[in-house]
Amino acid sequence: MKKFMLFFVFLLTVGCSKTQNQEINPNTVLAKVEGEDIKWKDVENELGTQLAYMEQKYQESVYNTKKQYLERHIGDLILKKEADKEKITPEELLNRETSQGTTISDKEVEDFYKQNEAFLKSRFPGDKKPELISKIKVGLGNQRKAQAHQDYIERLKEKYKVEFLIQAPRIEVSADDDPYLGSKNAKVTIIEFSDFTCPYCSQAAKTVRTVMSDPKYQNNVKLVYRDSPTDRRPASFPAALAAQCAFEQNKFWEYHDIVFENQARLSVDVLKEFAQSVGLDMNQFNACLDTKKYDAEVNKDLRDGFKAGISGTPTFFINGKMAQIPPGDAGAQVLKKLIDEEL
């Protein structure tokens, strides 16, 4: 048993230490049993996807730990430098510079409620409108304060000429033959792994489309949609299959939008209603969905996402750099910054 465990640990070490620039020879012998070779290719055939996932998560974790430390340390450092010049404490400086314009109006709260009513009711099923309004006000207020804090730190970074030389790991993620928006040969490719039944994916979809509509990015950015459904929600796989059937008839994005806008009431019958509303050939669509024609395609996306290291949806790769995009204006700013770094 001890020998088996040592061998297993050795396999994990070999798998996790392999990088895109250091491929292991598939004929490398890892062990022998009565003279019979057990080669790397034998292990990779069985564990390749799992080991690739572990490698990507390791690289991501190392980078995030380093970057988060640098962000905190540099933020504290430049805030203290600026406060020392003003002869006040960093806390006093931050309060002075970020206290203006953070009040949330009743109209903003009501607008947010109307735009996200379905999501809020599914997220907090026992809450009435007054309780939801209270949560929205607190949430938007905290978000705005955090954004004001971050904006001020960003201004200080420019003032003090901060440079980050650390590079995020780039992960090889194929666009496959999946639907995309934007220029085919764009300088920046965003690959999105998403789920039509995921409320956060619905919010992220709005954020990404808002950014994509900016004339600055229309010819420079390509957005690729890849499926990452879950078996935790019954409509997840059917919705992914239905969207592929719409893609077959060149109506993916129209279908994508209507599904996300109505994700609280998804079922196979409703998915067929949506197909009719966007003008699909219903005989072709029904046959496609009923036979699960694109089951292999959806599952390929799912496997590729797992190999790339995703652990939830939505997950984005901007020219191979993994990113999580928060909802709303904050998410738009994060995404724009990531794109601008690549242009």
Q: Summarize the confidence of residues 65-77 as an average pLDDT.
A: 95
pLDDT of 239? 97
pLDDT of 23? 65
Number of other residues whose CB lies within 10 A of the CB of residue 252 = 20
Pairing of strands 29-33, 36-39: antiparallel
Q: What is the mean pLDDT of the chain?
A: 88
Q: Give the 3-state secondary structure of residue 223.
A: strand
How confident is residue 22, by pLDDT bands cut at 50, 70 and 90? low
Cis peptide leading into 326, omega within 30 of 0? no
Q: Summarize the confidence of residues 77-98 as an average pLDDT.
A: 94
> Would you say residue 89 has pLDDT above 60?
yes
* Lowest-pLDDT choice from 44-58, 109-123, 147-161, 235-249: 44-58
- Token pair listed for 49: 């996807």
Q: Residue written as tokens 């992220």?
A: 204
Q: Summarize the confidence of residues 20-48 as an average pLDDT.
A: 82
d(CA 277, CA 309): 36
> Would you say residue 17 has pLDDT above 70?
no
Instruction: Please give the backbone phi and psi of residue 172, each rounded to the nearest 5 degrees, phi first.
Output: -75, 105
Q: Summarize the confidence of residues 224-235 as an average pLDDT.
A: 95
| C-alpha closest to that of 98 among 156, 137, 31 | 156
Q: Summarize the confidence of residues 222-246 as an average pLDDT.
A: 96
Instruction: Please give the backbone phi and psi of residue 312, each rounded to the nearest 5 degrees, phi first.
Output: -175, 170
d(CA 306, CA 299): 11
The burial of 143, by beta-carbon neighbours within 10 Å (0-12 exposed, 13-18 middle, 19 or more buried), is given as middle
The model's pLDDT over 259-305, given as tens digits with 9 standing for 90+, comes to 999 998 999 999 999 999 999 999 999 999 999 999 999 999 999 99
> Would you say residue 219 has pLDDT above 90?
no
Instruction: Please give the backbone phi and psi of residue 33, each rounded to the nearest 5 degrees, phi first.
Output: -130, 110
Question: 220 and 186 in contact (C-beta within 8 Å)?
Answer: yes
Q: Summarize the confidence of residues 79-87 as an average pLDDT.
A: 95
Instruction: Please give the backbone phi and psi of residue 55, each rounded to the nearest 5 degrees, phi first.
Output: -65, -45
- Model confidence, pTM: 0.64
According to the per-residue pLDDT averaged within each range, which of 92-106, 129-143, 234-248 is highest? Answer: 234-248
The model's pLDDT over 297-327, given as tens digits with 9 standing for 90+, comes to 999 999 999 888 888 899 999 999 988 888 7
d(CA 15, CA 204): 33
Written as one string, the DSSP assignment of 280-341 is --HHHHHHHHHTTTTHHHHHHHHHHHHHHT--SSSEEEETTEEE---SHHHHHHHHHHHHHH
How confident is residue 42, by pLDDT bands cut at 50, 70 and 90? confident
Structural domains in the chain plus CATH codes: 2-62 (no CATH), 65-159 (no CATH), 180-342 (3.40.30.10)
Pairing of strands 221-227, 188-194: parallel
pLDDT of 3? 40
Three-state SS for 184-216 is CCCCEEEEEEECCCCHHHHHHHHHHHHHHCCHH
* Lowest-pLDDT choice from 95-104, 110-119, 207-216, 315-324: 95-104
Q: Summarize the confidence of residues 63-89 as an average pLDDT.
A: 95
